[in-house]
Amino acid sequence: LELFDELRAADDVEPDVIAYTAALSALAKGGQWEKALELFDELVSNKERIKPDVVAYNAALAALSKGEQWEKALAIFDQLDETGPEPNFFTCTTAIAAAGKSGRWKKALAILDSMAKKRGLTPNLITYGAAMMACSKAGQWEKALELFA
């Protein structure tokens, strides 16, 4: 992170999306979700110069999930879904888990449904497990069993 800060402070060099993503990943691994969110906000506010990719969004989602900031993670997913690059398997699965942990089981099922219908992604056992957990946590056992079937 010191190297990234030096890069940002340099007059002749500007960090690219890869540098931002590496810094976001380091912050996620270090459990520093607040700093990761600040850095991510900086990245997306510079869309004219640096275009955030899905890997950068995933790094931000990972940091917020590790920090148990479920609503903030869902806000970033919604932002990505509206204006960002196409979400991938990791993005959707992380958002489903965040929705479940924040008690938003309907949101989790909507994301699961959109994976195949809208994005052409095939959910796997981890994805279904996250969706089932979202339903069961909210007392929606019937919905969880429907996913199991």
Q: pTM for this one?
A: 0.88
User: Can you list the residues of the chain whose pLDDT is less than 50?
Assistant: none
Task: Give the separation between CA 139 and CA 103, rounded to whole angstroms.
Answer: 10
pLDDT in tens, 41-80: 999 998 778 899 999 999 999 999 999 999 999 999 999 9
Dihedral of CA atoms 104, 107, 109, 115 in degrees, nearest 10, equals -140
pLDDT for the residue numbered 6: 77
Cα–Cα nearest to 37, from 52, 57, 51, 54? 57
pLDDT for the residue numbered 111: 96
CA 112 to the chain's CA centroid: 14
CA 138 to the chain's CA centroid: 22
pLDDT for the residue numbered 148: 78
Task: Give the separation between CA 66 and CA 9, rounded to whole angstroms.
Answer: 28
